[in-house]
Structures are given as C-alpha cells and as structure tokens.
Amino acid sequence: MKVLVAVKRVIDAYVKVRVKADGSGVETQNVKMSMNPFCEIAVEEAVRMKEAGIASEIVVVSCGQQNSQETIRTALAMGADRGILVQTDEELQPLAIAKLLKAVVEKEQPEVVLMGKQAVDNDFNQTGQMLSALLGWSQATFASKIEKADSSLTVTREIDGGLETVEIKLPAVVTADLRLNEPRYASLPNIMKAKKKPIDVLPAADLGVDAAPRLQVVKVSEPPVRQAGVKVGSVAELVDKLKNEAKVI
C-alpha cells in the first residue's frame, strides 16, 4: 500500500510567537521553524506501517516555499522514502492546499493519505476534510489508532464523548490526533541517509489549480495578559472570591 503524507512547516511549537507590530500576522523572520507536530505523528504512523509490512512506499509532500524542503528532509530522516515539494511563494490557505494535494494524489495514486489533524500555526483543521471531499474519498479524522484490513481501515477517533471506531473503505484520507503515537527522533545515520533521498520540486503554478486566497486576515492580536494569582487565607475566603469576584459559582 502506497502512503502519501502531507507535512507542513510551521513555527516551532516551543517558540513564543510574537505578533507583528501592525497586527497583520506573526513574526516568522529569524524564528525556529519545525514540522507541524501532528504531521510528525502522521509520518511516524506511516513509518510504523512500513515497518509492519503494511505500507510499501512512503511519499512525503509539502506545499510552500523552497525552505519547506527542510521539513520534507526531516520526514525522510524519520523513514519516508521520497519527497515532493509543491513550490510557491504565494500564501496558501486550506482550500488551495487541498486542491494542490489532490493534484499530487492524482499523479501519485496512493491508497492512503495521512495528514495532521491541524496545523498549529493557524489551527484551521480543514485541509484533510477538504481533500477527502475533493477526491470523493473516505475520511477518518482525529485518529488515535489505525488498523488495516484487506480493502479498508479501522480507525479509532477521538471525539468529545470518548472514542469512536469507524471502518472506512480505501482509498482514504486519515488525519492524526495526538495519541496516535509518539514520533521518533531521527538518528544521525538516518539524517545522513536522508540527504541522498530524492525530493521532486513541482512548481505550484504547473498543477493547474486556482490557489488564490479566499480568506482575508483582518487582524492578529496577542491574547490578554493573564492576571497574577492571589493566595487566599481560608476556604471561606476562596468560596467568597469565586462567588463574588470571579462569579463562577
């Protein structure tokens, strides 16, 4: 089974994000960038599928600027076989990414597309769902367990009330949730090996897709600064504060 994994380059999850002075977005200059954590989980799952003899080839795809190649290299070092960069300097929103990924899927013909449930930079949580709709494929989102049967997948999904298990026909799009697995660190020998693995570069403009933005960011602002905590002297004082100051009981 051929598996395609979509990975996004985002600001490292441990970096404190700074909002630009003009409120038009966040600072990305001189900021550490990494693979989106949920995409790492998707890559790890694909590598485990290959180790278990379920996946035959893992192709990693990222849409964005030239430097997204670093993110693809990270996935190759984790165990993916080859990469595709859909290159553009234009801003890409979920619908455009889903359309570009659809074009790659049509070219590569994978049986499964693994993705993160959301990108932690914009928290859209849309691209996987849009891709499956555009392809007319089955989808299972927020996966915390994936098992393969002959022509289907059994996916355990994390939902508000607990866990839900669904069986979906292949081909399918599956998005990874936090508890699906714990991604490995790439070893030094594998980082070296990854340097030799191929990455194809496809100019986004050559895929014949209308990737124009449909959303306009009106304003980006910092969350309100949290107030300092206070120590209370007794349970009665705590109850009084909760009732009369916080007004939560």
Amino acid (one-letter) located at 58? I
CA–CA separation, 230 and 70 (whole Å): 46
**Nearest CA-CA partner of 173 in 127, 208, 204:** 127
- Residues 44, 50, 81, 94: which binds ligand AMP (CB under 6 A)? 94
Residue 206 or 237 with smaller CB distance to ligand AMP: 206
Minimal distance in Å, beta carbon 229 to ligand AMP?
A: 33
Minimal distance in Å, beta carbon 25 to ligand AMP?
A: 15
By the rule CB under 6 A, 181 interacts with ligand AMP: no
Interface with ligand AMP by CB under 6 A: which range of 5-13, 14-22, 187-195, 209-217?
Answer: 5-13
Residue 135 or 237 with smaller CB distance to ligand AMP: 135
| DSSP output for 84-99 | EEEE-SS---HHHHHH
Categorise residue 53: left if φ over 0, alpha if ψ from -120 to 50, beta otherwise. Answer: left
Interface with ligand AMP by CB under 6 A: which range of 55-63, 195-203, 206-214, 222-230?
Answer: 55-63
Minimal distance in Å, beta carbon 10 to ligand AMP?
A: 9
CA–CA separation, 34 and 11 (whole Å): 6
Interface with ligand AMP by CB under 6 A: which range of 59-67, 158-166, 194-202, 224-232?
Answer: 59-67
Contact string 102-131 vs ligand AMP (x = CB under 6 A): -------------xx-xx--x-xxxxx---
Residue 122 or 154 with smaller CB distance to ligand AMP: 122
| DSSP output for 187-199 | PHHHHHHHTTS-E
CA–CA separation, 28 and 41 (whole Å): 23
Contact 115, 143 (CB under 8 A): no
CA–CA separation, 7 and 223 (whole Å): 28
Minimal distance in Å, beta carbon 119 to ligand AMP?
A: 4
By the rule CB under 6 A, 97 interacts with ligand AMP: yes
Amino acid (one-letter) located at 120? V
By the rule CB under 6 A, 62 interacts with ligand AMP: yes
Residue 120 or 241 with smaller CB distance to ligand AMP: 120
**Nearest CA-CA partner of 66 in 224, 193, 202:** 202
Binding site for ligand AMP (CB under 6 A): 6-8, 36, 38-39, 61-64, 92, 94, 97, 115-116, 118-119, 122, 124-128
